[in-house]
Amino acid sequence: MRGNKSASIAVILTIILFLVIAVFSIFMQLVAFNGASESQALTGIVVSLLCQGTGAVVMALFALRLTNFLIAKANWGGTSAVILAVFLGALLGMGIAFLSLIFSALVSGIS
């Protein structure tokens, strides 16, 4: 496939950006769960990490497919395809991180 190198770069950059977002999200979750019991907070953090881990896989596949699509079908250049895939992947990652915060609070019973 023509965009294999570009797609690999997009996946790696997207995962790195998502890790930065995830660390910030976990830190914010620790601050938000400050008044909760230890078991509730631990449950919330574990659920959030599971959601974000699943989100990282989804984002990697998204960046891979989008980069390959833009290069092969839409005839974009490799650099512009990588930039767009990483940007959209980071936006998707922020959404997943935000939803994981909400979902983990609901699952752990923190209101």
Question: How many domains does the structure of the chain reveal?
Answer: 1
**Which tokens hold the place of 106?**
């609901």
Encode pLDDT of 89-109 as tens digits. 989 888 988 998 899 888 888
Separation between Cα atoms, residue 13 and residue 84, nearest integer Å: 11
What residue type is assigned to position 39 of the chain? Answer: S
Q: How many residues does the chain have?
A: 111
Boundaries of domain holding 17: 4-108
Supply the pTM of this predicted model: 0.83
**Which tokens hold the place of 76?**
């974009």
Least confident of 35-39, 47-51, 85-89: 35-39
Helix, strand, coil fractions of the chain, as percent rounded to 5? 85, 0, 15
How many CB atoms sit inside 10 A of residue 45's CB? 16
pLDDT (mean) for 35-50 = 88
**Which tokens hold the place of 21?**
């977002």
- Are 107 and 28 within 8 A, CB to CB? no
